[in-house]
Amino acid sequence: MLKTYTAKYTRIPSGYMGQLIEWPEVITEGKSLDDCRELLQDAVQEMMAAYRQQKKEIPTGGALIEQIPVET
């Protein structure tokens, strides 16, 4: 079964931080955006395996992210 999660990437001094919106415990850092994407894929696979082993419910994906303009 294919699940889709929403990733958020933030520029940090050492590169990028990646985190899943629907599953905030899945978080990682990479030197480049591509590196961070790869590491986030690995992190979510590892977290899924850990949740299955512990018989915990895996969060569903499919969040919708929208930017809202605000005048300042």
pLDDT in tens, 26-43: 999 999 999 999 999 999
pLDDT at 1 over 80: no
Q: What is the pLDDT of residue 64?
A: 80
The residue that leads in pLDDT, 67 or 25, is: 25
**Average pLDDT taken over every residue of the chain:** 93
Predicted confidence at residue 65, as pLDDT, reads 80
Quote the CA–CA distance of 41 and 38 in Å, as a whole number. Answer: 5
Among 2-6, 11-15, 22-26, the range scoring the smallest mean pLDDT is 2-6
Look at residues 72, 69, 71, 63 and name the one whose alpha carbon lies nearest to residue 20: 63
| Model pLDDT, residue 61 | 84
